Amino acid sequence: MSLIQNKVVIITGASSGLGEATARRLAASGAKLMLAARREDRLKELVAAIPQGGGFANAKSGGTATYRVTDVVDRAQVEALAKETLSTYGRIDVLINNAGLMPLSPLDQVKVEEWDQMIDVNIKGVLYGIAAVLPIMRQQKSGHIINLSSVAGHKVFSGSAVYCATKYAVRAISEGLRLESNGEIRSTNISPGAIATELISTISDQDTAARMNEFYTIAIDADAIARAIAYAIEQPGDVDVNEIIIRPTRQEL
């Protein structure tokens, strides 16, 4: 039996990309999912697929899933998400902080509203998720928080200063959580490189968008990250996978 089976997992940003791929893969291993995102129509479609084994034809144990429309920048909504998960399943084993934005631009474009967006979603959204589940996990004396950072959390790229700052912050938060775990809470930071998702569609600066569209021609499938997340979750309780960096083989940076 997979160690993922019957784990209660919250996934933010679950309506597409890494979140959707992860939901499908964990469902195939029998996880109990609470899916969160802003787009209810996409969440409904994904939940409808879960009883069929998460969309995998060879899945042996289909998971179960429900959803709650959630904007991670609203702390009250994130708290309600955790409470509904606890009410539905009786516990929370894993939180996957996946929701994120990447509206890249050079600093001299002064796109302050986009900077604010990235700080709100990429940093505060992660913190709100942790704040919502950590007391529950402490009471259980077990839990696992998985944060999605980026290779941009390891290296600063031109035109990406604010985005990189948010992803460096996610790494710092993940490490702080590990240091304060008291042997109860597992902390995993996952840093993807170029992955085929909707992330680059949030770039409004035309020159940066053109450059990133060319760069992302090497992007790999989102399931590559889903497999890494599953690997971290399925380790025995005394094993804490803290950091994984995943790039396309052809990605240099």
State the catalytic residues.
163
Residues 243 and 189 sit within 8 Å (Cβ to Cβ): yes
**Kind and range of the H or E run holding 243:** strand 243-246
Alpha carbon 42 to its chain's center: 17
Whole-angstrom Cα distance, residue 240 to residue 253? 27
CA distances to 18, 35, 129, 224, 231 from 221, rounded to whole Å, are: 9, 20, 26, 6, 17
Report the C-alpha gap between 113 and 139 in whole angstroms: 38
> CA-CA distance, 236 to 231, in Å (whole number)?
10
Alpha helices in 29-146 (DSSP H): 40-49, 75-89, 112-118, 125-140
Q: How many CB atoms lie within 10 A of CB 168?
A: 18
Contact 82, 97 (CB under 8 A): no
Residue with tokens 């309600």: 80
**Is 172 in a helix, a strand, or coil?**
helix
